[in-house]
Amino acid sequence: MSRYLVTGAAGFIARAVIQRLAAAGHTVVGVDNLNDSYDPRLKEWRLQQLASLPGFTFIKDDICRTGFFHELTTNQPAFDGVIHLAARAGVRQAVEMPDVYLQTNAAGTLNLLEWCRKGGSNKLVMASTSSIYGANPPLPTTEEADSCHPLQIYAASKKAAEVMAYTYHHLYDLDTTIVRFFTVYGPAGRPDMVMFRFTRWVTEGDEVLITGDGNQMRGFTYLEDIADGVIKALKPVGYEIINLGGHETITINDLLGRIETLVGKKANVQYIARHPADVDANWADVTKARQLLGWEPHVTLDAGIAQMVNWYLEQRVWARNIIIP
């Protein structure tokens, strides 16, 4: 069995990845600084699901901290691979705190790359984002689409991380797979994302805010499909950028309608002005993932939304109090 380092271990996607790795018998060391970028109760809940997993060790620390990776090398044997999921995520918050996003997503990634260069690991899987494709990408979007005109600092910081990773591959032969995620959703998801917001607002009878006219189109991708793709991306590839995205598209208005049906309540909707960082449509061409990784999404949108809603209803006692940014 193998040893893996997972950064951002208390994150939404990391929980599912770590559970799969542990179930396969691998040893996993997870690191997370448990910051307050969103309500930490969600991170605490995720960590509780991981605490009893065989072979899993959690380290509360910050990849941006000078000395962290030196201490990791001193205290831990070498790793067969690193899955880099640590990031400040969220399009709108990045506009308000650009320095924080650049520090974590770019400088933190540089620290990780230096650790890899010095022998920490020769396999890197790094999370990136479909936001990198900017305002009007061709649809469905392939990896060859323009990614040099991001609309906000979040995407710009992830582009910086991608470019640095390529440099380390070129200079030091670091085997690198960059996976660009398309609108991930599922149980215990981030509270700034539309799936969590709509489920919470409809269930609790709160006003539902929709930016723009609600006709924006998205290719939502279920959490477990993403986790499967991330793990398959651990195979040696040299350097590749690969889209991971769902196979069904839906408008924001239609999404709300499906959640209303599952919850059994009608929403009180207010349409508000669109944020300048929002895009009209976003979904992936996953031909490359299918060819290189043998990956494609399997969870239907209806099944995934039901899982999200059921999780919220089961955890409602505390989840109803989660702060929505």
Both tokens of 222, joined, read 């279920």
Query: Domain for residue 206, yes or no?
Result: no
Please name the residue that has the structure tokens 């069995």: 1
Instruction: Report how far Cα 178 is from the mean position of its chain's Cα atoms.
Output: 12
Residues ≥6 apart with Cβ < 8 Å to 273: 211, 212
Into how many domains does the chain fold?
1
Known catalytic membership, residue 154: yes
Query: Domain for residue 149, yes or no?
Result: yes
Residues ≥6 apart with Cβ < 8 Å to 285: 140, 141, 142, 243, 245
Q: What is the pLDDT of residue 137?
A: 94
Report the C-alpha gap between 240 and 159 in whole angstroms: 14
- Length of the chain in residues, anyone? 325
- Domain at 236, CATH number: 3.40.50.720
Nearest to 249 by CA among 217, 294, 202, 215: 217
pTM over 0.85: yes
- Are the CB atoms for 6 and 30 separated by under 8 Å? yes
Tell me which of 4, 38, 133, 154 is the catalytic residue: 154
Report the C-alpha gap between 159 and 277 in whole angstroms: 16
> DSSP label at 317?
H
Query: Domain for residue 294, yes or no?
Result: yes
Q: What is the pLDDT of residue 91?
A: 76
64: left (phi over 0), alpha (psi -120 to 50) or beta: alpha
Query: Domain for residue 304, yes or no?
Result: no
Rounded to 10 degrees, what is the CA torsion of 300, 302, 308, 314?
-120
Query: Domain for residue 195, yes or no?
Result: no
Tell me the torsion sign for CA atoms 251, 256, 258, 259. positive
Domain limits for position 24: 3-186+222-245+283-298
Q: What is the pLDDT of residue 95?
A: 83
pLDDT tens digits in sequence order for the chain, 325 residues long: 999 999 999 999 999 999 999 999 999 999 999 999 999 999 999 999 999 999 999 999 999 999 999 999 999 999 999 999 999 988 778 888 999 999 999 999 999 999 999 999 999 999 999 999 999 899 999 999 999 999 999 999 999 999 999 999 999 999 999 999 999 999 999 999 999 999 999 999 999 999 999 999 999 999 999 999 999 999 999 999 999 999 999 999 999 999 999 999 999 999 999 988 889 999 999 999 999 999 999 999 999 999 999 999 999 999 999 999 8
Q: What is the pLDDT of residue 193?
A: 95
Query: Domain for residue 73, yes or no?
Result: yes
Supply φ then ψ for residue 58, to 5 degrees. -110, 135
- Are the CB atoms for 82 and 4 separated by under 8 Å? yes
Query: Domain for residue 241, yes or no?
Result: yes
Q: What is the pLDDT of residue 89?
A: 86
Helix (H, G, I), strand (E, B) or coil at 108: helix
Q: What is the pLDDT of residue 90?
A: 80
* Secondary element (H or E) of residue 180: strand 175-181
Query: Domain for residue 40, yes or no?
Result: yes
